Amino acid sequence: MKQHIARALMITLVLLTAAAGGMLFADDSTVNLESKIVQDFSKPDAQNWFAYGSNFSTGDFPHWGFVNAGPLAVVGSDAQAQKSAQALGIAMLFDRQGYNWVDIVPGTKDKPTEIPLPGKVKMLDMWVWSGNFNYYLEAYVRDYKGIVYAIPMGNLDFTGWKNLRVNIPDNIPQSEKYLPRKEPLTLVKLRIWTRPNEVVVIPGLASSASDIDKAVKFYFFDIKVLTDTYVSLFDGDNLDNPDVYQNAFTNGVKK
């Protein structure tokens, strides 16, 4: 009889342990995916960007600025919507072919400002306009350790607007063992590369054409992320809130 009772107790403990493990597993695998715009270029005065180029950039190129434009797939065909849409334009020009590049950076030249990417980012997404030049685009992100990663966004050999999307590699850390576990990424910059065998000046123009007419141009619209915003709750999670602890530990602080 005692053996039957002991065996029943052991089975109960095993089931309880498995259930607890299952609950923990379910919690770890829970996700809440959201699409969030991190830059829409709708407020140029409040969203500074600047650009600079590699060696052999012509004169004071690259140039940059904001234009009223956007892809039909996003803003629709309504004239007023098209007029109110904003895109970031980049005009690049080089004295010779080669592996030239232009960096497009949030902030100002005196103060670059990286863009926080909320949650645990699964995908980076943006609209790009191209004139079918065989260039390619990279996005640079920084992790919580300060390491910067170059993420290939794709080729730019297409005409008009195209949605470019790329998965964030799993080897880029976005969390750690200790609280607070989630450590968000930041967007450092975008980089457009020319290929050595591709033109760096719009061909077929008259010799009297201005440099800005000759420049190769690209436009950017709506930088977004698909991100996991799920936060796992636990007993005492409020104690990890900076608003709670920031002013609590005052004893022993020298005045």
pLDDT digits (tens, 9 = 90+) for 167-184: 999 999 887 766 555 679
Burial 112-122 (b: 16+ CB within 10 A, else e): eebbebebbbe
Q: First vs last Cα of the chain: how many Å apart? A: 71
> How much helix, strand and coil, in percent to the nearest 5, is found in the chain?
20, 40, 45
Confidence of residue 23 (pLDDT cuts 50, 70, 90): very low
Q: What is the pLDDT of residues 145-171, one digit of tens each?
A: 999 999 999 999 999 999 999 999 999
pLDDT per residue as tens digits for the range 223-235 = 999 998 755 555 5
- Which tokens in the block code for residue 148? 């910067």
**Is residue 27 scored above 50 in pLDDT?**
no
Look at 106 and 242; give whichever has higher pLDDT: 106
pLDDT at 141: 97
